[in-house]
Amino acid sequence: MERKLLTRQKAAEFLGISKSMLDKLVRQRKIPFVKFCRKPLFRIEDLQKFIEEHLQKENNNETE
């Protein structure tokens, strides 16, 4: 299993959002990250989990 960390730019691209939106999610602690040399880094597994959880919430809201 590869444990690769992504920069803000790469994480934003992976999620299909802007860096400012990613920064907002980080500030709100809605997305997991690790800090290295004062910079947030993101694990691909955490980003995938974030996407899955967000999609589940959307699907639950649509069925209500």
Question: What is the reported pLDDT for 64?
Answer: 63
More confidently predicted of 54 and 35: 35
Q: Say what the pTM is.
A: 0.80
Measure the CA–CA gap between 35 and 58, rounded to whole angstroms: 29
Q: Tell me: the pLDDT tens digits for 26-50? A: 999 999 999 999 999 999 999 999 9
Given a cut of 70, whether residue 54 has pLDDT beyond it is yes
Mean pLDDT of 15-21: 96
Question: What is the reported pLDDT for 3?
Answer: 66
Question: Containing domain of residue 45, as a range?
Answer: 5-63
Our count of domains for the chain comes to 1
CATH number of the domain where residue 58 is located: 1.10.1660
Question: What is the reported pLDDT for 52?
Answer: 93
Is 32 in contact with 45 (CB distance < 8 Å)?
A: no
